């Protein structure tokens, strides 16, 4: 449906054809598909102190849709407690310093942590996920890592491509800075991929080039701009072998209507395609409940042996997260003063 349609018509479409995961439960996904079992060696989920509660839902969704595939929690921050998630079978934890040594300390925290997986992944073929994602269906169907080395998680529906340098500057990188190191890259027709979900082979992008590129203060949204640059360059040069799959939905992203149309935000009814729900922008939190997120957080509790007082447990956990954020904020203010 065209994004310029009146709001009433878009709302009608959402109600009749699409499920809003903020307000409705997702259908039960099909069981893991045996023929896809050998396509991946494992899943890596990036977890920080503030999103452990979201990572629980993410890991529960992986278990439901992808069976007992190994999961590694890549932990950002020494004080991030993932012990509850590790109660799930075949789940282990690695901190960023565990994954890469002191010479990679600039990648140990924040948005850059995920860059470590390209050369230090515990798996040769892996799916990377941000903690604020949910897997619906066996997404290994997209993991054709015999033919490709990197497969981006694109928008679920049609994706807008960039046609001007101004768009690139706003969403990806400083064109002038990048042109100095790669003058032959043509931008028209390229599409932005959100790097909260992708499939990759270990060593797809070289360590030396990642270190060098990180030093350039030209990337919009940190690693987001850099990974898209690497993917676009690979498309032009043919190496490494890169592709994309239409898998991500963004229910809470309400801006940029030309990109985040209702069909890129909401889940199609009777949908046969595996999908990844990504809570970019307004995430579920204390005072902002999303139905699908609650469902999978409850599923996590059930998977780890807790079957009573589920709703109360969720609310208490959200309050604890909210309280922890405020305590850390006050502490930072006190230290600055």
* Boundaries of every domain in the chain: 18-336
What pLDDT sits at residue 93?
96
> What is the distance in angstroms between the CA of the first residue and the CA of the last residue of the chain?
52
The residues of the chain scoring below 50 in pLDDT are: 1-13
| 171-181 residue pLDDT tens | 899 999 999 99
The Cα 214–Cα 181 span in angstroms is: 13
| Strand pairing category for 91-95 and 71-76 | parallel
| 258-292 residue pLDDT tens | 778 899 999 999 999 999 999 998 999 999 999 99
- Alpha helices (H) along the chain: 7-17, 52-66, 96-99, 117-120, 165-171, 175-181, 207-214, 223-237, 262-265, 291-303, 310-336
The Cα 278–Cα 259 span in angstroms is: 15
Alpha carbon 5 to chain centroid distance?
29
Q: Which residues have CB under 8 Å from 60's CB, separation 6+?
A: 88, 296, 297, 299, 300, 303
Residue 173, CA distances (Å) to 48, 62, 222 in order: 26, 33, 9
What pLDDT sits at residue 337?
63
Neighbours of 207 (CB within 10 A): 16
CATH superfamily of this structure's domain 18-336 = Spore Coat Polysaccharide Biosynthesis Protein SpsA; Chain A (3.90.550.10)
The Cα 151–Cα 136 span in angstroms is: 18
What pLDDT sits at residue 328?
73
What pLDDT sits at residue 110?
83
For residue 8 the two structure tokens come to: 């009433």
What pLDDT sits at residue 334?
67
What pLDDT sits at residue 324?
83
């Amino acid at each position: 449906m065209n994004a310029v349609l009146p709001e009433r018509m878009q709302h009608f479409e959402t109600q009749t054809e699409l499920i809003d995961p903020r307000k409705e439960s997702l259908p039960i996904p099909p069981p893991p598909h045996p023929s896809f079992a050998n396509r991946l060696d494992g899943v890596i989920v990036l977890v920080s102190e503030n999103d452990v509660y979201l990572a629980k839902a993410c890991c529960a969704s992986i278990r439901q849709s992808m069976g007992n595939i190994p999961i590694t929690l890549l932990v950002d921050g020494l004080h991030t407690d993932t012990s509850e998630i590790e109660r799930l079978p075949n789940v282990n934890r690695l901190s960023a310093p565990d994954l890469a040594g002191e010479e990679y300390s600039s990648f140990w925290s924040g948005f850059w942590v995920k860059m470590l997986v390209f050369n230090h992944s515990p798996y040769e073929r892996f799916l990377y996920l941000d903690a604020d994602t949910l897997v619906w269906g066996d997404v290994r169907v997209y993991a054709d890592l015999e033919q490709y080395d990197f497969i981006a998680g694109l928008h679920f529906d049609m994706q807008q491509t960039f046609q001007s340098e101004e768009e690139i500057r706003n969403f990806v990188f400083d064109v002038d800075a990048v042109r100095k190191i790669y003058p032959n890259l043509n931008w028209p027709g390229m599409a932005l991929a959100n790097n909260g979900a992708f499939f990759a082979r270990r060593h797809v992008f070289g360590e030396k080039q990642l270190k060098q590129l990180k030093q350039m203060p030209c990337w919009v949204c940190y690693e987001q701009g850099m990974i898209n640059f690497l993917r676009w360059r690979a498309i032009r040069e043919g190496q490494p072998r890169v592709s994309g799959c239409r898998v991500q939905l963004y229910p809470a992203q309400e801006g940029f209507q030309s990109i985040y149309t209702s069909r890129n935000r909401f889940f199609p009814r009777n949908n046969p395609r595996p999908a990844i729900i990504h809570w970019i922008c307004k995430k579920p939190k204390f005072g902002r409940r999303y139905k699908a997120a609650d469902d999978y957080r409850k599923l996590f509790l059930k998977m780890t042996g807790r079957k009573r007082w589920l709703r109360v447990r969720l609310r208490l956990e959200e309050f604890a997260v909210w309280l922890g954020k405020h305590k850390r904020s006050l502490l930072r203010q006190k230290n600055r003063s």
